[in-house]
Amino acid sequence: MIQVTVAEAQKRLPELLALVETGESVEIHPESGESFVLVHKPKPDSGAAAWPGYPKAGSLKGKIWMSDDFDEPLEEFREYME
């Protein structure tokens, strides 16, 4: 992480933005004592999902199987259920 003052950030803004685009983060420290961080947040394509791995409804259809007696009481617990 690169740390700069506000004055330095103003002088080097194009350079710092180029670094942020490559994945580097820049922390700016004003005199107030707070700090601000510049990070790159890429804009998603208009036709694509923001995260390509995002699950879609029905995407696991046919991949999950459940036995017919899934919700039947277990034999091991029969004495506790009587």
pLDDT digits (tens, 9 = 90+) for 20-50: 988 889 999 998 888 999 988 877 655 555 5
- Per the prediction, the chain carries an average pLDDT of 84
pTM recorded for the entire structure: 0.49
Quick one: how far is CA 2 from the chain centroid? 22
Give, in words, the CATH class of 1-41. alpha beta
pLDDT at 16 over 90: yes
Distance CA 49, CA 81 (A): 48
The number of beta carbons lying within 10 Å of the beta carbon of residue 9 is: 20
Q: What does DSSP assign to residue 36? A: E
Distance CA 15, CA 63 (A): 50
Residue 26's Cβ-count burial label (10 Å; 0-12, 13-18, 19+) is buried
Domain residue limits, the chain: 1-41
